[in-house]
Amino acid sequence: MIKTRHLSKIFDQTRALDQVDLDVASGEIYCLLGANGAGKTTLINILLNFVEATEGNAWIDEIDVAARPREAKRQVGYIPEQVTLYPTLSGIENLDYFVSLAAGQRLERTRLLELLEDAGLDRAAADRRVAKYSKGMRQKVGIAIAFAKEAKALLLDEPTSGLDPQAANEFSRLLKKAGERGVAILMATHDLFNAKQTGTRIGIARAGRIVKEISARDIGHADLEAVYLDVMRA
Ligand SMILES: Nc1ncnc2c1ncn2[C@@H]1O[C@H](COP(=O)(O)OP(=O)(O)OP(=O)(O)O)[C@@H](O)[C@H]1O
């Protein structure tokens, strides 16, 4: 699970996060919407321990991320807008490298191939250099790394921006698969369509606060765009 309590962050004069209480249970896909500057990336960066909170706490799988950063990091998969991989290595070599870094052990080639296939990467692409991959293919390697780590939580920051609708749809199916495996997923996104398609819960952030939450059973009925614009106008 992913949890925060009274989480606040002040950068100089800017209150980027303001007393955020968030709970994302195992198996949930929580899509966090919000205007530019609403605090979405800051929230994810605190959960990754890239940024220190000014006040409050954050936990991954009941591990306090500030108190036990290395243990917390072991439980997390992170997919930013651009997954950073070594361009001169192939997909499978990247996976091998990052998994051995995270887990301290090497996996067999057949297992690595299985993980890549599980993440939707074409088998023929596994041995090609990542420099020739599309953005969607790099995202898949990122997901394969998270699957290999058996991450309990997945943090995604605008992972579908720049993906074509079919690739975004495929990515959405992958996330659902991760959710079915019990991973707690928090995804910051501007993509309302994808959020509606993928989320089991949607949160809307404004000025550092989560001001509205919509649960799965209501997402289908909600005109998300209208709700979003209402929240932004309020
Ligand atoms: N390192 C930093 N130093 C100073 N201010 C920062 C820093 N990082 C973020 N901020 C400020 O904190 C606020 C929240 O930024 P954040 O990047 O979390 O928003 P966001 O919701 O992710 O926006 P976007 O949708 O544009 O990615 C903004 O006002 C931003 O300018």
Residue 164 lies inside a defined structural domain of this protein: yes
Residue 129 lies inside a defined structural domain of this protein: no
* pLDDT greater than 90 at residue 224: no
Residue nearest to atom 4 of ligand 1 (CA): 11
Least confident span in 44-48, 61-65, 214-218? 214-218
The span from the CA of 19 to the CA of 57, in Å, is 10
Q: Please state the domain count of the chain.
A: 1
Secondary structure of residue 116 in the 3-state scheme: helix
Residue 223 lies inside a defined structural domain of this protein: yes
Q: What is the pLDDT of residues 60-103, one digit of tens each?
A: 999 999 999 999 998 999 999 889 999 999 999 999 999 998 87
Residue nearest to atom 30 of ligand 1 (CA): 37
The pLDDT assigned to 201 comes to: 95
How far, in Å, from the CA of 182 to the mean position of ligand 1?
30
Residue of 13, 14, 43, 82 with the most ligand 1 atoms within 8 Å of its CB, for mutation: 14
Which CA distances in Å does 172 have to 112, 126, 227?
Answer: 22, 21, 22
Residue nearest to atom 12 of ligand 1 (CA): 16
Torsion, CA 159, CA 164, CA 170, CA 171, rounded to 10: 0
Q: Given the CA of residue 190, which atom of ligand 1 is nearest to it?
A: 25
Residue 111 lies inside a defined structural domain of this protein: no
Number of Cβ atoms within 10 Å of the Cβ of 213: 13
What mean pLDDT comes out for the span 218-230? 83
Secondary structure of residue 219 in the 3-state scheme: helix
Which CA distances in Å does 219 have to 32, 131, 212?
Answer: 13, 38, 12
What mean pLDDT comes out for the span 2-16? 96
Positive or negative, the CA dihedral 212, 10, 187, 162 is positive
How far, in Å, from the CA of 200 to the mean position of ligand 1?
25
Percent of the chain with pLDDT over 70: 100
How far, in Å, from the CA of 65 to the mean position of ligand 1?
20
How far, in Å, from the CA of 37 to the mean position of ligand 1?
5
**Angle, in degrees to the nearest 10, between helices 109-118 and 91-103:** 100
Output the ligand 1 site: residues, CB below 6 A. Answer: 11-12, 14, 16, 34, 36-42
- pLDDT level of residue 223 (50, 70, 90 thresholds): confident
Alpha helices in 19-134, H assignment, sequence order = 40-47, 69-74, 91-103, 109-118
The pLDDT assigned to 220 comes to: 73
Residue 113 lies inside a defined structural domain of this protein: no
The span from the CA of 201 to the CA of 203, in Å, is 7
Residue 123 lies inside a defined structural domain of this protein: no
Which domain does 40 fall in, by range?
2-85+151-233
How far, in Å, from the CA of 34 to the mean position of ligand 1?
12
Residue 29 lies inside a defined structural domain of this protein: yes
The span from the CA of 172 to the CA of 177, in Å, is 9
Q: In CATH, what number is assigned to the domain containing residue 228?
A: 3.40.50.300
How far, in Å, from the CA of 120 to the mean position of ligand 1?
32
The span from the CA of 178 to the CA of 115, in Å, is 12
Q: What is the pLDDT of residues 15-28, one digit of tens each?
A: 999 999 999 999 99
The span from the CA of 173 to the CA of 182, in Å, is 15
The interface pTM score, or ipTM, of the predicted complex is 0.97
Q: What's the pTM value of the predicted model, to 2 decimals?
A: 0.93
Residue 195 lies inside a defined structural domain of this protein: yes
The pLDDT assigned to 167 comes to: 85
Bridge partners for 45 per DSSP: none
Residue of 7, 11, 161 with the most ligand 1 atoms within 8 Å of its CB, for mutation: 11
